[in-house]
Amino acid sequence: MSSGDYAESLGSEPEATLRIAGAIRAHLVDTYPADTADLELDSDLISRPLNDSLAIVTTVAFLEEEFAIRVKRAHINRANFGSIAALSEYVSSQLKQSGG
């Protein structure tokens, strides 16, 4: 599925962002259950063990596979990876740029 097709399947922009956030949260909870029990959309991911290099690589791989986007190295920063809300906004913006 292309990123444009994926974006279309998500629905309206607010609905899409919430669905993206839900998928990201589910991935983090499944991958890091001990570190994510109290994880909210606006929880600071940087202050958790989720910010080590392996966790970032794993998250990037998930985003690229799940949402059919390409995460550029320059985009891996606190503004985009600081919380689930920030990640979902980032993914949403990448889907829009790719024609979604």
Q: What phi and psi values does residue 40 have, to the nearest 5 degrees?
A: -110, 170
d(CA 19, CA 13): 10
Check pLDDT > 60 for residue 87: yes
**Is 2 a residue whose pLDDT tops 50?**
no
Q: Which CATH number fits domain 3-97: 1.10.1200.10, 1.20.1050.10, 3.30.565.10, 2.40.50.100?
A: 1.10.1200.10
Q: pLDDT by residue (tens digit) across 37-71?
A: 889 999 999 888 777 889 999 999 999 999 999 99
Q: What percent of the chain has pLDDT over 70?
A: 86
Q: pTM (2 decimals)?
A: 0.84
Higher pLDDT, 95 or 8: 95
Q: How far apart are CA 97 and CA 33, in angstroms?
A: 32
d(CA 14, CA 20): 10
As a whole number of angstroms, the distance between CA 38 and CA 2 comes to 33
